[in-house]
Amino acid sequence: MAFGEKLQTLRKTKGLSQEQLAAELSVSRQAVSKWELGESNPDLEYLIQLSEFFNVTTDFLLKENVKSPLPEPVPVQKDHALTAQILFFGATGFLLIGLLLAFGGWYDQQTGVAIVGGMIVQVVGLAGYFIGRLLAGAEPAFWLQITNLAIGLFMPASMLSSLVTGRVISPYPTDIFTVLPFGAFYAVMLAASIWAIKKMNSKTGN
């Protein structure tokens, strides 16, 4: 058995995705993928880490004629991936519903209760999002992350612009004096978040 096959078997034995193993070693998912495909071999530093992590010898990892009993891989629970996807899209739905509830409640009542109610719904959506991440062991699609950010940052940017301009805190800009600072805050917050996500994804190889 070649090194790449052994590594893949060991990884699956622990029930890990390539992303999760990459995170353990502080390398990219692409690096792990190349190791398993036999396109490259890890440096000595990572080879030692792999032997310690999987509790096998480096000889076993590198030499094809060295045999070692390997336990059967843990079957991957496919329903986890489906559940994670449902939670990811559900999170987007809750974020949007929370935003619309805050808009509608503020338009009718103009009270803080309307904002809090909408934010509570959004928090439920965020909780679902992070549960989905735990189940999937990875982030959702990049476009979905951006969509969630665009929805989730709208109210905080509006509330911040209201504070800066001395207006009553509202879930959306209420006049020309809050529109301009809202646009600036929203653009900066969104751009910074997108940059952070790209940097995080580049480290994990997503």
Residues of each domain in the chain carrying CATH 1.10.260.40: 3-62
Quickly count: other Cβ atoms within 10 Å of residue 113's Cβ.
Answer: 10
> Residue-wise pLDDT tens for the chain (206 aa)?
788 888 888 888 888 889 888 888 889 989 999 998 988 888 888 888 888 888 888 888 887 765 555 544 444 455 577 788 888 899 999 999 999 999 999 888 888 888 899 999 999 999 988 888 887 776 788 888 899 999 999 999 999 999 999 998 999 998 889 999 999 999 999 999 999 888 776 655 55
Query: Which stretches within 2-141 are classed as H helix?
Result: 3-13, 18-25, 29-37, 44-54, 58-62, 78-109, 112-136
Residue type at position 82: L
pLDDT of 73: 45
Name the token pair of 133.
Answer: 């991440």
Cα separation of 166 and 171, whole Å? 14
Instruction: Give the distance, in angstroms, between the CA of residue 18 and the centroid of all CA atoms in the same chain.
Output: 15
Q: In this structure, what token pair is assigned to residue 132?
A: 């989905």
Q: Reply yes or no on domain 3-62 having CATH 1.10.260.40.
A: yes
Kindly report the pTM of this predicted structure.
Answer: 0.58
Predicted pLDDT of residue 74: 45
